[in-house]
Structure 1
């Protein structure tokens, strides 16, 4: 059994669209195609730290980082942190870490970021694992609350949002909600959510996802298996990965199955390269 090679911490000081950000990340050197992980709203890079426990992904280069305004990463203007801004951050982080072509895994907000990143330069992406990242208006069951439950006070909105998610009937909701105030700055929420809603409603995301040439997987929890677009994804050649005993958060509810499906796709995509 090979030893676990721990992830090393790094910090990057960047200027993105005129705004200063400090990005806190985890990385590992190695051989083969790098793995790039993008976390969801209210989560952090540590969602993916167990990559070091995955034998089938051993020795690969790894990159994960906190989005500005989330985790330890900071942003001089939290109101600037929209999804397009996060795509620009990803491009700069990849450049700074000298990663050109890669496998990308993105959850929720990170899945949408990964989709737009790949759509901007498809040649760079060896495979895309989209874990319930937005591709249609119905995916805004969390982000659309910025409209349906609007509040002038950002801290109050985040508190009430966490209460609603924590009281839901879905797997992982209470665990996720319990750490929200510690993982995302309230001042970043509005711009993130409004951009997610706008892109989901008007960005033709499903079409953009389907036309990506790289091997693609859409991962979703069994409690969300009524998503209306799943048949269209399957017909369009996207691999569907339904995770048992899970809703929106496979890394909390069923990580062994999540990691197994990610490793499967990465292995098959590498064999095609």
Structure 2
């Protein structure tokens, strides 16, 4: 997997960034380079089939992505990471935390899927058959994102990453996200994690109201980044970093 890795001198911890559907670790560039987070080491990988990582002969499932991340961390002898998982990365971060709790110290879930109402691009993808998605569906979605990105910096960055991703992986992961979100168990699963956790969302253009109510019902702490959408760390970077620092300051030393 392609990796953006910044080691901090006298690091107080390691932050592992997990990107979303069709994205790449490039979307976290402003966080990785942020001077207020310089005490931490930063790892932003491109999942297999996304970004600059190799495409898989057999597309990787969400659980397989989590397993690949765990193997990578184990190979590098890294543990007790703080996960920052965005969108699909929030779901993968959940799976990683469930299966490999010894590797995770804390979890910042950013706009991760909770309910079916959070499935924007994934729902569009699975409205096609795989064959039609490969023939014209993916291009249709990508072209729409390009048009919307003319006025939205986050979508401009997303479009750039989409140009590198494997269509089969995008489609498989979209199906999984829709199925998991429709199952309405993701908030409950978050609530069972025995690690420090916070869910950060963009308001008013981010996580659906239904999902917010499900988080509240499951006693999952969540906070809103105001005047932001699905990429709050791009829309409001200073506010987002302040929320990160608040969470990080509460972790056990």
Would the TM-score normalized by the shorter structure come out above 0.5?
A: yes
How is 1:87-126 mapped onto 2 (pairs within 5 angstroms)? 87-126=66-105
What is residue 5 of structure 2 aligned with on the other side?
27
CA RMSD of aligned residues (A): 2.5
Q: Confirm whether residue 267 of structure 1 aligns to residue 249 of structure 2.
A: yes
Q: Identify which of structures 1 and 2 has the higher relative contact order when contacts are C-alpha pairs closer than 8 Å and 6+ apart.
A: 2
Q: Report deviation, 1:180.
A: 4.5
1:80 to 48, 54, 59: 59
Once the 2 structures are TM-superposed, how far is the Cα of residue 150 of structure 1 from its aligned partner? Answer: 4.0
The secondary structure found in structure 1 opposite 2:65 is helix
**Could you tell which deviates more after superposition, 81-90 or 228-237?**
228-237
Cα deviation, 1:123-178, whole Å, max 9, x if unaligned, reads 43221111111122322222122332446241522111123445569955642453
1:175 aligns with 2:152: no
**In structure 2, how many angstroms separate the alpha carbons of the residues matched to 1:29 and 1:135?**
33
Q: For structure 1, which segment, 121-130 or 170-179, has the greater mean C-alpha deviation from structure 2 after superposition? A: 170-179
Classify 1:86/1:220 alpha carbon distance in 2 versus 1 (closer, same or farther; 3 Å).
Answer: same
**Greater alpha carbon shift after TM alignment, 88-97 vs 100-109:** 88-97
Unpaired stretches in structure 2, ≥5 consecutive residues: none
Find the partner of 1:69 among 32, 43, 49.
49
> 1:82 Cα shift?
1.7
CA distance in 1, matches of 2:154, 2:33: 25
TM-score (norm 1): 0.80
Secondary structure, counterpart of 2:229 in structure 1? coil
Q: 1:20: which partner in 2?
A: none
Q: 1:39 aligned to 19, 22, 30, which one?
A: 19
Local SS of the residue matching 2:121: coil
TM-score, normalised to structure 2, is: 0.86
SS across alignment from 1:63: strand
**Cα distance in 2, alignment partners of residues 35 and 109 from structure 1:** 17
2:167 matched to 1:186?
A: yes
Q: Indicate how the Cα distance of structure 1 residues 246 and 46 shifts in structure 2: closer, same or farther if over 3 A, else same.
A: same
What is residue 238 of structure 1 aligned with on the other side?
A: 220
CA positional deviation for 1:36: 0.7
SS across alignment from 1:104:
strand
Say if 2:180 is the partner of 1:202.
no
Instruction: Pick closer, same or farther for the CA change 1:161–1:151 going to 2, 3 Å.
Output: farther
Give, in whole Å, the separation in 2 of the partners of 1:121 and 1:180: 28
Consecutive unaligned residues in structure 1, runs of 5 or more: 1-22
> 2 CA distance for matches of 1:187 and 1:95?
28
2:244 paired with 1:256: no
Q: Which residue of 2 aligns with 1:134?
A: 113
Q: How far is 1:110 from its partner?
A: 0.8
2-side partners of 1:80 and 1:235: how far apart?
A: 35
Answer whether contact 1:171 1:249 (CA < 8 A) is retained: no
Are the equivalent residues in 2 in contact too, given 1:162–1:180 (CA < 8 A)? no
Distance 1:41 1:184 in 2: 9
In the alignment, is the contact (CA less than 8 A) between 1:132 and 1:220 conserved in 2? yes
State the number of aligned residues.
248
1:155–1:104 Cα change, 3 Å: farther
